Structure 1
Amino acid sequence: MKAFLLLEDGTVFEGNSFGMEGDVVGEVVFNTGMTGYQEVLTDPSYCGQIVCMTYPLIGNYGVNLDDIESVKPQVKGFIVRELCQTPSNWRSIESLNEYLRRNEIIGLEGIDTRELTIILRDKGTMKGTIVTAEKLTEVEEKLDKLKKYTIDNPVLQVTTPEIVHTAGNGLRIALIDYGLKKNIVRSLVRRNCDVTVFPATATAEEILAVNPDGIMLSNGPGDPKDCRFQIDNIKKLIGKRPIFGICLGHQLTALANGADTEKLKYGHRGCNHPVKDVEKDMTYITSQNHGYTILEDSLDKEVMSVSHINMNDGTIEGIRYKNSPLFTVQFHPEASPGPGDTAYLFDEFIEMVKKHKKGA
């Protein structure tokens, strides 16, 4: 069936629907990864967003049970140039079309995804709606609906509703779930950690009550400045245990230390972003998914130092803190999808926790 994408600037793309039919509204963003569409679909950081994949053929290896990053797809809608209807992979259990239909996600294929990406790069991320219909009618009414659309409390929509414990025989790590990807837990478990996942609503007192050796702050969706409770909570945790923050956890920690953030024009989303580790003088290819960045001129240089820099646009990709065992990064060292070049940061976190525990 025909389907349309209407952007808030009035631009219209005509294609065909797949997955579920209907209407959906969200923030339209693009991802530059050549593979990893299943991880993208299930990444909670995409809550409230319609994702356009820039690689032209999507769905060629189907969907499996191993590569999901949360229990269900988190995107509002999914846009591809060409959908593969006959996937071929030994792990595949269903096609992408079947997977999205079963999970009630609206898809759009057959539009010029290059043109859409150029528009979003030139004008910036904007709201949009996918409409399954033979003709696009009542455009003005739909544009009015787009302008009123907001993503309300996305962190609370994706965080775990209860504490989840994964037993291990090593260090005890408290992981605060702002919208975490499962591979963060996997990365800790592979290092023999005992992991307890807490909801984003858990208090500092509740987290410290389990006597963790270290604390991790996960990725997640939305504007970090909307997470006022979480920011105040991080203030209470700083200095109590070694802390490692990823993506949204990186931004919230900076805000808790008096820094400021702003929205990027079109964000960083993909698994091919070059980032320089300043101390190592090495550049790594990283997986990223975020729409906000920390402003360098807002950093308290007595407390914070930039540890990683984005080689495309010079934005901050990592911060180390001088007054406590604490560091954070904007990219995803757990990858999924993407390269594992920066997985060494998990090892650095483990060593920092061990050193702090030995000193305590």
Structure 2
Amino acid sequence: MPSLIDFVRGLPKAELHLHLEGSLEPEQMFAMSERNRIKLPYSSVDEIRNAYNFNNLQEFLDIYYAGMSVLQQEEDFYDLTMAYLKRCKADNVRHVEVFFDPQGHTERGIPFSVVINGINRALEDGKKHLNISYKLIMSFLRHLSEADAFETLKQATPYLELIHGVGLDSSELGHPPSKFVNVFKAAGDMGLLRVAHAGEEGPPSYVEEALDLLDIDRLDHGNRALESDSLVTRLANNQIALTVCPLSNLKLCVVNDMSDHPIQTMLEKGLLATVNSDDPSYFGGYINDNYVALIESVDLTREQAIQLAKNSFSGSFLSPQEKSKYLDEIDAYITQNTH
């Protein structure tokens, strides 16, 4: 039988919490800056990599938005997305539900069409050539106003057939979900699914707002929901998926040490927890790296790893038939690797 790490590397899995802009590797950032003649405050790839050492969410966001400046042409968004999908293929990720932040580009004068057409073309090529299915989620930046979010929703209207849902990301503290009630209702009325980052840095009340006011279909992060027994019961009873990001939690000091990570507690409490990479180029690893970190730090068991992989499909926005197909793939893989 293969080692647990080798077993998990080959396990079919989905990724439900990935910011495409957060998969921009230093080498790619540097190459795009030269291609587009964008001057960065770094003279080498090593300088960029060193800048990725930050201490909290805001410091990360500062370099995250600076890095976006190199994304200028449709080809840049295509290359960014395709590079991520190739890493997914290597990690045996079979399905992705990815975020993009249009406001981070349109406010720089990049047309919405340039962003979405580049991303969508890569996702379609990934589906065709890499056999990776996908959903695309448009996130609103919560440090901006709801009026800005409405403007983004308006810009997205001609492309709704390419967008499956809306999300809420960026600086959480001071920007509660209640700030975006109206735009989330409008998005829901347009047939879009709804997710939101809550309970990462923000308190459990932000999770409650996301559930009660935004009527979310899935919860991004959600770590601090564990501080409320009633909230845990509610999430477990309703099987609201949590898109947990272990290496991100460590890098942003949501946990002090990976050995403190609550993923096993989530599973024990019946939560539909999943493992994801968030912003992998900034946080030190893609999806298999997150699984390996848990195996090495919290003694994640084979059964728990299998449950997390199954949860990633159960918590996805795939149809019941598509979920069943992928869950059968996991069962077949387990059978092949049991003896």
TM-score computed with the length of structure 2 as normaliser: 0.33
Query: Comparing both structures, which one devotes a greater share of its residues to strand?
Result: 1
* TM-score (norm. length: structure 1): 0.32
Higher relative contact order (CA 8 A, sep 6+): 2
- Which structure has greater helix proportion? 2
